[in-house]
Homo-oligomer: A and B are copies of this chain.
Amino acid sequence: MTRKQQAEQGIITEDMRAVALQEGLEPEFVRDELAKGRLVIPQNAGRKLSEPRAVGRGTSVKVNANIGASPYRTSLDEELAKLDAAVAAGADSVMDLSLGPDQIRIRRAVLERSPVMVGTVPLYQTAFELSASKRDMADMTMDDFLATVRRQAEEGVDFMTIHCGVTQSALAAMNSQGRLLDVVSRGGAFLVQWMRKNQRESPLYEQYDEILDILAEYDVTLSLGDGMRPGATADAGDCAQTAELLTLAELTRRAWAKGVQVIIEGPGHVTLDRIADQMRQQKILCGGAPFYILGPLVTDVAAGYDHIAGAIGGAYAAMHGADFLCYVTPAEHLRLPTVQDVHEGTIASKIAAHAADLSRGRTASLERDKAMSLARKRLDWKAQVELSIDPAKAGDYRQHSEIGEDDVCTMCGEFCAIKRLNS
């Protein structure tokens, strides 16, 4: 039985209790929401995470960090350093998106080392293996793909992004309306190539039940990928994106029927005025399934600072219902992220997630802000540094002010308003 099937039968598992404690929720609430599909605990049946997490209704907003080598740059040590940096900065999850000759070794090492859930995109492995054996992507068979899914599930992957909603209907919607940037999802692009060349429906849609059977066997959470996500703000919420979301809604219900936990993936590039509507639409169509969003980036021109554009969009989206924020790093659109980029991206997303938790009135989050403000009132710099989202950076800034043991800072000195009136 999967975790979801257990919840449906009224069983409260150990990990339901663990996340209930983390979140300050009743275990019964966690069980009931999990049974309804509105909350997930991504954890492979063969694994025991030291830090399991719940994603979805009633829980704090979670943050994922994407790591992984690329065909251009492959280093196991560097990817493990990224994993450590992400976890140290507070990531609740990592996805290993490695593509390249070392991808299997890297994934296994990440799975072994990570205290938090690990996600993958199995299609990347299949695509790379086809490419390495000089076969065209369009030659992919469903056996190739299912073998990868099973292999990764056996290895312990906790959640997998699979782009089962990239179908002929989404493609037709895209062709009918036209788009500024057609497809910017790697997985989506593979499938569109496949469908165009084979002139057939996507096998990931046609043989969806076979995928579900493997996922259910290992209780792998299905993250339904958005291969049609807009890669330009001009395309946000268009027909292609909406057509795919409708298919994801159908696929959500089919997965639930087989006991598979589901997350829905979302955009991408979306201007601020369209975010709230998109969050509401996803919840309505997909029956409240958790929404896992990339950014969204609120502008296309923030290259070098896309972690900030993503934090703006992510905070606002999570206030309006998004549950899980996939970080964006300063390297987005420009290069594979470095360890420092991973750190900055994770911190920016944590700020967005925390801002959204505050906006939802989450008690623990409000208490943390209150403690910081009290530390400011007391001019207690040690506590201020410790309560900061990144104590190392805050401490560094404080130290570089060369103010010694003074109780004020170099901004106002003796004219400090707090010193004059509050302390």
Q: Which residues of A contact B (CB under 8 A)?
A: 70-73, 99, 124, 127-128, 131, 180-186, 188-190, 192-193, 231-234, 271-273, 298-305, 307-309, 311-312, 315-316, 319, 330-331, 333-336, 347-348, 351-352, 354-356, 358-361, 366, 368-370, 372-374, 376-377, 384-385, 387-390, 393-394, 396-398, 400-401, 403, 409-418, 420-422
Contact = CB atoms under 8 A, between A and B. Distances in A.
Contacts of A186: 412, 415-417
Contact of A369 (B131, B233, B304): B233
Contact of A70 (B73, B302, B354, B411): B411
The 10 closest A-B pairs by CB, nearest first: A335-B401, A232-B373, A189-B417, A304-B393, A272-B359, A71-B413, A273-B359, A298-B355, A334-B397, A300-B369
SS class of chain A's interface: helix, strand, loop or mixed? helix
B127 A415 contact: yes
Contacts of A188: 417
A415 B191 CA distance: 12
A394 B308 contact: no
A192 B298 contact: no
State the number of copies, please: 2
A56 to B, nearest CB: 20
Contacts of A396: 304
Given A272-B359, A303-B388, 11 more contacts: A71-B414, A99-B413, A190-B420, A232-B376, A273-B358, A273-B359, A298-B359, A301-B369, A316-B316, A330-B397, A335-B401
A304 B72 contact: no
Contact of A335 (B272, B301, B373, B400): B400
A384 B303 contact: yes
Contacts of A301: 354, 368-369, 372, 387-389
A398 B334 CA distance: 5
A305 B417 contact: no
Contact of A183 (B72, B99, B334, B421): B421
B319 A273 contact: yes
A84 to B, nearest CB: 20
A268 to B, nearest CB: 12
B348 A305 contact: yes
B388 A272 contact: no
Contacts of A272: 315-316, 319, 355-356, 358-359
Nearest to A422: B182
23 contacts: A71-B413, A72-B403, A72-B413, A99-B415, A180-B370, A231-B373, A234-B366, A271-B355, A271-B359, A272-B359, A273-B361, A298-B315, A301-B354, A302-B351, A303-B397, A305-B389, A307-B308, A308-B308, A309-B355, A311-B312, A330-B397, A331-B397, A331-B411
B355 A410 contact: no
A181 to B, nearest CB: 5
Contact of A180 (B333, B373, B393, B411): B373
B413 A70 contact: yes
Contacts of A397: 303-304, 330-331, 334-335
Contacts of A304: 388-390, 393-394, 396-397
Contacts of A70: 410-413
Nearest to A375: B300
